[in-house]
Amino acid sequence: MQIAQNSVVAFHYTLTNEAGEVLDSSEGREPLTYLHGTGNIIPGLEKQLEGASPGEKLNVSVTPEEGYGEVQEQLMQEVPRDAFQGVENVEPGMQFQAQTEGGPLMVTVKKVEGDTVLVDGNHPLAGQNLTFDVEISDVREASAEEIEHGHVHGEGEGSAEQ
């Protein structure tokens, strides 16, 4: 079976950046499983997996526009150090959930200078060209319940197909 709208796809992957550094991998873990055509993975990867079959290996390049987006400068903001109440030592790399007008947003501390902290609400992979080395493990038709819910059901979630 080939990957198409409303198919359940399982695949192993290794994600690298332009420098060839491994950012993430399913090696040693279960394959990533998703419902195709419902936006559960980044658009550029989903688009390029369309039509692939189990056992197929692909090298997929994804631009920021079809990945995690371009860096949005308005999501970078300087905030006062005292906004981090209860956190004794704020350091670059730490992540916090900020409350914004648009709802909760994960931010990463980029820089701490005196009483000012620079936080970034962009996805950590925003602005990056990414490469996925993918091996398709399995493709099957989704159950009516999975299609209705918009995601794959695992064991114990009431799926008719396990």
Residue 153, pLDDT > 50, answer: yes
- Find the CATH number of the domain harbouring 134: 3.10.50.40
CB-facing half-sphere around the CA of 109: CA atoms within 13 A: 19
Band the pLDDT of 98: cuts 50, 70, 90: confident
Whether 13 is in a domain gets the answer yes
* pLDDT tens digits, 40-90: 999 999 999 999 999 999 999 999 999 999 999 999 999 999 999 889 899
Band the pLDDT of 123: cuts 50, 70, 90: very high
Same domain? 28 vs 59: yes
Same domain? 58 vs 138: yes
Quote the domain boundaries for residue 30. 7-68+126-149
Domain count, the chain: 2
Whole-prediction pTM: 0.81
Asked if residue 112 lies in contact with residue 119, where contact means CB atoms within 8 angstroms, the answer is no
Residue 41 is classified by DSSP as S
Residue 159, pLDDT > 50, answer: no
Same domain? 113 vs 134: no
The whole-chain average pLDDT of the chain stands at 92
Whether 162 is in a domain gets the answer no
Same domain? 110 vs 134: no
Same domain? 64 vs 79: no
